[in-house]
Structure 1
Amino acid sequence: MERKTKIHAEDGKQEILITREFDLPLELLFKAYAEPEIIEQWMGTKVLKLENKKHGSWQFETTNPQGIVVFRANGTVHEFVPNEKIIRTFEMENTPFEVQLEFLQFENLTDDT
Structure 2
Amino acid sequence: MKKHTMELRVAGDREIVMTRTFDAPRALVFAAYTRPSLVQRWLGVHNGWTMPVCEIDLRVGGRYRYVWRGPDGMEMGMGGEFTEIVPGERLAATERFDQAWYDGAAHSVVTFDEQDGQTILTLSVQYDSAAVRDAVLKTPMEKGVAAGFNALEGLLASGTIAELAQGEPA
Q: Same fold (TM over 0.5)?
A: yes
Displacement after TM superposition at 1:69 (Å)? 4.2
What is the TM-score normalised by the length of structure 2? 0.59
- Distance of 1:76 and 1:95 partners within structure 2: 17
Greater share of residues in helix:
2
- Distance of 2:100 and 2:17 partners within structure 1: 23
Greater share of residues in strand:
1
Q: Could you say which residue in structure 2 is the equivalent of 1:3?
A: 4
Q: CA offsets, 1:36-55, max 9 Å, x none?
A: 00000112323342100000
Question: What does 1:1-113 correspond to in 2, within 5 Å?
Answer: 3-10=4-11, 13-43=13-43, 44=45, 45-65=51-71, 68-97=73-102, 98-110=104-116, 112-113=117-118
What is the TM-score normalised by the length of structure 1? 0.86
Work out the number of aligned pairs and report it: 110
Identity between Structure 1 and Structure 2 (%): 23
Relative contact order, CA 8 A, sep 6+: which one is greater? Answer: 2
Runs of at least 5 residues in structure 1 that lack an aligned partner in the other structure: none
Structure 1 consecutive aligned stretches of length 4 or more whose deviation exceeds 4 Å: none
8 Å contact kept, 1:49–1:60: yes
